[in-house]
Structure 1
Amino acid sequence: MRYIRKPPYPAELLGKPYLEKYETPTLVLYDGRKGNAMEHVSKFMDSMGPFAGDRELCQRKFSKSLIDRAYTWYSTLQPNSIPTWEDMVESFCTKYFYGEKKVTIITLHNSKQKPFERLLDFIRWFRDIALDCYGQYKEQELVEICIDNIFPEYRAHLENLDIHQFAQLLQKARKTTLSVKPSVIDKPRPEKRNPPQALAVSGGESAAGVKRKRDDGAEQQELPPIPCIDEEIKVIVDKWVVDGVLRIIKPNR
């Protein structure tokens, strides 16, 4: 006879008949790897529709919404170890809530504007992670934390404006960025200089890499040209012009 593992809820629930007109709903599945455990419980209750009030039915059907790692965890629960639906929710959320990356009020306090990060980008990013903060906090409190975490030059203009919402903060921040330029963002970055151009100096000499014959007929390898910047070229040209004029006025004897 094949061994059938007993469920973690009371065994007497197995023989309890379903409610009249009950139909198995389409459930959202949870694999235990990603997603919020509390959200999954809420989605499960929504899927149960008019039967969500039957706690014993929810307890029997909850395992149908679990797959992969989450179902493996469920299958390891000891028989009769989860007597009520409330116990199932608590056990499930304890298992998977802490495995997620939590955003707490401490996380928000430690989220500072980074160097070279624009003010509006930081405010939008902060607003988005604040929505995932576990805990009941008023929007005004979160806005105040956001203002405390921006650059001092911006904070001096925004902290006394009685801003209660992120929409207001973004509106005021746009105007602030037009008149305030913090030193952290305005700090000049090192410019990329182009490599010096190699200049082949003419005047009886050939270009680099070109072989020419000496008077005795042997080939002679030209040396590579010396790199020059614009100022050096100008000096060389001016010197040639002056020398040429002097040679015409005072020819060599």
Structure 2
Amino acid sequence: MPQGYQPPKFQYFDGVGNPKQHIAHFIETCHNAGTDGDHMVKKFVRPLKGNSFEWYTEMELDSIDSWEHLEGEFLSRFFSTRPEVSRIEMSNAKQRQEEPATDFINKWRSLSLKCKDTLSESSAINMCIQGMQWDLLYILQGILPKTF
């Protein structure tokens, strides 16, 4: 090993959490360390523990022929426990009677991060405004803000 070499520090995955996020972190860590493609297959076991490590060790030897194959198998085995939100749920979000506007906007933006559909910023702003109390909704519809 070259002097000063630091092995990559992977985020651990135990089978709970967001597997897509784990894959994204793993790929980024590998790329930053100069590893890509099928070389990542050999490194993939390092951040696994618990159920995910057990899944990996129970796979048939030589059953994986590429990084893409391993990634697909992993994502089909582990799924996100994070609930997805639809556009309908977002459009049904309403500001409560005594809820400050900033609290509602922050709550709505957090909800929008879980949305499975991509919204343009102008659509998101309009949808958020539609959920506000009437007095603020009336004012903001006249102003038509361009950003949050």
Q: TM-score, normalised by structure 1?
A: 0.49
Give 1:79-98 correspondences, 5 Å limit.
79-98=61-80
DSSP 3-state at the match of 1:65: coil
Q: Give me the CA root mean square deviation.
A: 2.6
Tell me, yes or no, if the aligned pair for 2:19 and 2:80 is still in contact at 8 Å.
no
**Residue of structure 1 equivalent to 2:46:** 64
Name the SS for the 1:64 alignment partner.
Answer: coil
Structure 1 residue 67: Cα displacement: 1.0
Structure 2 CA distance for partners of 1:28 and 1:98, relative to 1, 3 Å: closer
> Aligned residue for 2:146?
164
**Equivalent position amino acid for 1:42 in 2:** A
Q: State the alpha-carbon separation in 2 of the partners of residues 73 and 112 from structure 1.
A: 43
Q: CA deviation at 1:133?
A: 3.0
Match of 1:105 in 2: 87
Question: 1:25 & 1:73 partners in 2: Cα distance?
Answer: 23
Distance 1:71 1:145 in 2: 43
What's the CA shift for 1:93? 2.6
Change (3 A) 1:141 1:81: farther
User: Matched residue of 1:153: which SS?
Assistant: helix
Which of 98, 108, 111 lines up with 1:116 in the alignment?
Answer: 98
Farther off after superposition, 86-95 or 60-69 = 86-95
| Contact map agreement 2:12 2:48 (CA 8 A) in 1 | yes
Structure 1 segment 1-253 matched on structure 2, within 5 A: 24-34=7-17, 36-48=18-30, 49-53=32-36, 55-166=37-148
The CA distance in 1 between the partners of 2:62 and 2:96, in whole Å, is 52
Give the superposition deviation at 1:134. 3.6
- 8 Å contact 1:59–1:88 — kept in the other structure? yes
> For residues 160 and 90 of structure 1, do their structure 2 counterparts lie closer, same or farther at Cα, with a shift above 3 Å needed?
farther
C-alpha contact 1:46 1:52 (8 A) present in aligned 2: no
**8 Å CA contact 2:83, 2:114 repeated in 1:** no
CA-to-partner distance for each residue in 1:27-63, whole Å, 9 max, x for gaps?
Answer: 21112223x322211211222224332x111011112
Q: Which amino acid aligns with 1:74?
A: Y
Greater Rg by CA? 1
Letter in 2 for 1:163: P
What code does the residue aligned with 1:158 have? Answer: L
Shift of 1:128: 2.6
Q: Alpha-carbon deviation of 1:158? A: 1.4
Identity of aligned residues (%): 24
Distance 1:150 1:98 in 2: 31
- Decide whether aligned partners of structure 1 residues 81 and 117 sit closer, same or farther in structure 2, where only a CA change above 3 A counts: farther
Structure 2: stretches of 5+ with no match in the other structure: none
What is the deviation of 1:146? 0.7
Partners in 1 of 2:35 and 2:88 — Cα distance? 36
